[in-house]
Structure 1
């Protein structure tokens, strides 16, 4: 399955290109879409006593007219509710002309218990809040808790960003076409879609390739070609060396979680860089993970020169202030060439430490030969570093992550149940396998270490971040209730094994 996400505008372009290429014209594509929805309704809800089909004036409504006609021809009792007539000469008007079912005004809609609703009002193209008769219909359907099958996207959900525009249907199933939209995966839209069925209506992959979309669903197909597989003759340093900065004696656990995750992710060697006063605490809890004293900036330089780590993690439990900033800039001052530092994962306290010095960080990351910077902020940390972007209500989470990545010269992992991973080059991925069990203290520390471990093995920064997020979420989903952060590194093992096996077959 392909991973591209298409914005509503890109989907409209795909339709135009497909029509120009043939053999289907616009109405042909519409009929294919309606046939796909009708087939799903007949297969999954054969016992429905009545189906209420709601049609808007545009192409989404045109799909609905096809659905209504086909259901009626199959013997289903169909009631057809419309907002207004389609524009004369449009594909929707052709669909309406072929549909001989009595059309009733949506203003007269009365919900009936036991009905199934097919929502073909507005779909993904809606750009303003639902109001009037449509809003009343949403309310009536919601109050009776009627099952809804949405055509393309539940009406009221933004296809670009997943926002609910005023009000929106809550579908049990959404049938969309050719490719998913960002609004299918971004919250709160994702919760409104129910199960998503992706239907092929005749828009070929070459058409999508011509659009060159830059947004993707984060699934293994996006990054598996770069997933590290150890060579037969690999030794530990060929598999990369990750170093994790530790906090003081009362805040060492977060760094150890990151270090263990880096090791489980495949880094051949992992070192915890500990202040002197925390060495004994860390030593008591480490076995295969190495330990080194790092108190001053000179120690950081010595580690880079002597041990040549591939990647660093800074932030988990580290503390906020000058030391975090100085250590971060020292790592970013290195050069990637000739076996230098490949990357830095900046998390938690490391991010917050730059709230008043963001430009300094972004300039350091923007040097042509600087190590790759990956930042993993949750919503609060994102706002501290990108206050204006975070506060812009016109931007979706996807757009915010992209803007932040471009500004900071970093790969941004904007965390949450719908984590977005964005690269400075414009590529972005929306994660869709998140689980509520990951909302536990220390989970983010494991994620940071996992990304660093993959980056240490040679994955490019964007792909390493995407893989780390997916593996972390998949491990949490499979483990389920009772998960705590200490469980995650070991829970990643079967996920990693499955990925590894898929690359060597």
Structure 2
């Protein structure tokens, strides 16, 4: 089972459906399967016979809604459909499903007025076909009805959000659960739409894209799912698992480097060393045990740390200090061609001259800005564009991998690939959590040979593991807690080596 799930845009999903239907697959059977899946989810989540108001739109999403209504009515529920527009004007499969339903159908506004506290609302208004804003008064009535309902189930995506960008076009539906078909859409992973989806249930209905179709339709966006990471094999040793370095700041700002180093070690790197300025060697050495400390006075000595053939990569930035010293160190490290993670001060030091950084990138480089750092370093990128477009542009311009931190962390590559991680928690909004994430990325990069992950994939998986640690710890979380959650998480996601290979 893949740890990365393709996210299809609305047009890619429509093309897939059209191609499948032209090849002989029944579109009517697909609509029946979709509506039945939504009805089954309602019945699973609501005990006993209930009351449902199905909000049915003027297209195929509305057709799904009529299937839901029929199945709920057959299960003994009290059901009515609130129709957007004249249901007699429906065409194709949606018209057929309207005729098969045969139950009560009222105008949309009347259906909204009949939503009570114990009503289940099924949002089958627009799905991925939503494009134009809804008049504010009607949008407010839909929102009020959904807020009053006992359960809200959205078909494909909650109405009001753009399926491709996750942008809220009209503030209407906050769902408790969203049932989608064939493949997830970007809105299921991107904020603010992600928060409006509730639990996302993917139902194949014989429309799941194959690997060949993913390539054929040009799908470049993937969501990070639960990883499956191999445990070390019998021939592994500490250096085969990676020797990674973290560059430390001066004596008053060493904590960030130690947080990152601890994370890299806990996530499985075989050897982790802190490259410390002479003035901070004693304080770093006094606070670490398994992490080693080496004196590195300046750019040349930092680069020499990476010159060792056993060195797998370095993180620089957290607590390092902003300015010319940092710029020279980053440029010297980039010249080695070894993998680098650039965070915090390593990014801020180039805000006035980002081209100097971008032109020096030649090996695998992962930049990990938060929104403020991103806007300052990538001031040339249109700030009004969507997050996916901004990250894609930044990666293309810089030639590096860009990880934009947030509730939906986005990883972009220079060739346009995107990974989205929405597996996180607001408790991660605490000092030092970003340093832990940077160290986690570094630790996975050190294990690339063992794990079989590219640099961008390692960054994306690190974001998931970091988010899982935050979820497990919960309220009261501080950054020091995060690496200590990694061993149990790694046990949960591990696959093991056998004589026949990995399992």
The answer to whether TM tops 0.5 is yes
1:380 alignment partner in structure 2: 372
Find out whether 1:371 has 2:363 as its counterpart: yes
Within a 5 Å distance, the mapping from 1:476-487 to structure 2 comes to: 476-487=470-481
Find out whether 1:62 has 2:63 as its counterpart: yes
Q: What CA deviation, in whole Å up to 9, does each residue of 1:395-421 have, x standing for no partner?
A: 332332222222221112111121112
Q: What CA deviation, in whole Å up to 9, does each residue of 1:50-75 have, x standing for no partner?
A: 21111111111111122222322333
Match for residue 174 of structure 2 among 170, 192, 196:
170
Distance in 1 (alpha carbons) for counterparts of 2:49 and 2:397: 52
> Contact 2:299–2:333 (CA<8 Å) still a contact in 1?
no
1:186 alignment partner in structure 2: 190
Deviation at 1:460, TM superposition (A): 1.8
> Contact 2:383–2:390 (CA<8 Å) still a contact in 1?
no
Report the secondary structure of 1:387's partner residue: coil
Find out whether 1:275 has 2:277 as its counterpart: yes
Match for residue 292 of structure 1 among 289, 294, 302:
294
Within a 5 Å distance, the mapping from 1:82-161 to structure 2 comes to: 82-85=83-86, 89-108=91-110, 109-113=112-116, 114-131=118-135, 134-142=138-146, 144-161=148-165
Q: 1:234 to 1:53 in 2, by over 3 A?
A: closer
Distance in 1 (alpha carbons) for counterparts of 2:473 and 2:34: 38
Report the secondary structure of 2:495's partner residue: helix
Deviating more after overlay: 203-212 vs 38-47: 203-212
Distance in 2 (alpha carbons) for counterparts of 1:46 and 1:497: 36
**Structure 1: gaps spanning 5 or more residues:** 336-340
Deviation at 1:485, TM superposition (A): 1.1
Q: 1:93 to 1:132 in 2, by over 3 A?
A: farther
Distance in 1 (alpha carbons) for counterparts of 2:307 and 2:154: 59
> Contact 1:48–1:115 (CA<8 Å) still a contact in 2?
no
Deviation at 1:429, TM superposition (A): 1.6
> Contact 2:364–2:455 (CA<8 Å) still a contact in 1?
yes
Distance in 2 (alpha carbons) for counterparts of 1:436 and 1:164: 20
Q: What CA deviation, in whole Å up to 9, does each residue of 1:99-128 have, x standing for no partner?
A: 323432223341432221111111122123
Match for residue 351 of structure 1 among 343, 347, 351:
347
1:219 alignment partner in structure 2: 225
> Contact 1:119–1:151 (CA<8 Å) still a contact in 2?
yes
> Contact 2:115–2:149 (CA<8 Å) still a contact in 1?
no
Distance in 2 (alpha carbons) for counterparts of 1:77 and 1:497: 47
Q: 1:177 to 1:382 in 2, by over 3 A?
A: same
> Contact 2:318–2:345 (CA<8 Å) still a contact in 1?
yes
> Contact 2:119–2:149 (CA<8 Å) still a contact in 1?
no
Distance in 2 (alpha carbons) for counterparts of 1:231 and 1:147: 48
1:16 alignment partner in structure 2: 18
Q: What CA deviation, in whole Å up to 9, does each residue of 1:456-500 have, x standing for no partner?
A: 222420121112111111122122222211121121111123333
Report the secondary structure of 1:430's partner residue: strand
Report the secondary structure of 1:434's partner residue: coil
Distance in 2 (alpha carbons) for counterparts of 1:495 and 1:344: 25
Deviation at 1:146, TM superposition (A): 4.2
Deviation at 1:204, TM superposition (A): 4.4
1:389 alignment partner in structure 2: 381
Deviation at 1:81, TM superposition (A): 1.1
1:439 alignment partner in structure 2: 429
Q: 1:195 to 1:211 in 2, by over 3 A?
A: same
TM-score by length of 1: 0.91
> Contact 1:410–1:424 (CA<8 Å) still a contact in 2?
yes
Distance in 1 (alpha carbons) for counterparts of 2:237 and 2:243: 11
TM-score by length of 2: 0.91
Distance in 2 (alpha carbons) for counterparts of 1:127 and 1:241: 50
Q: 1:272 to 1:132 in 2, by over 3 A?
A: closer
Q: 1:169 to 1:204 in 2, by over 3 A?
A: closer
Deviating more after overlay: 167-176 vs 78-87: 78-87
Report the secondary structure of 2:494's partner residue: helix
Aligned length: 488
**Structure 2: gaps spanning 5 or more residues:** none
Find out whether 1:245 has 2:247 as its counterpart: yes
Find out whether 1:304 has 2:306 as its counterpart: yes
2:324 alignment partner in structure 1: 322
Deviating more after overlay: 356-365 vs 138-147: 138-147
* RMSD of aligned residue pairs (Cα, Å): 2.2
Distance in 2 (alpha carbons) for counterparts of 1:198 and 1:502: 28
Deviating more after overlay: 351-360 vs 142-151: 142-151
> Contact 1:382–1:390 (CA<8 Å) still a contact in 2?
no
Distance in 2 (alpha carbons) for counterparts of 1:204 and 1:191: 24
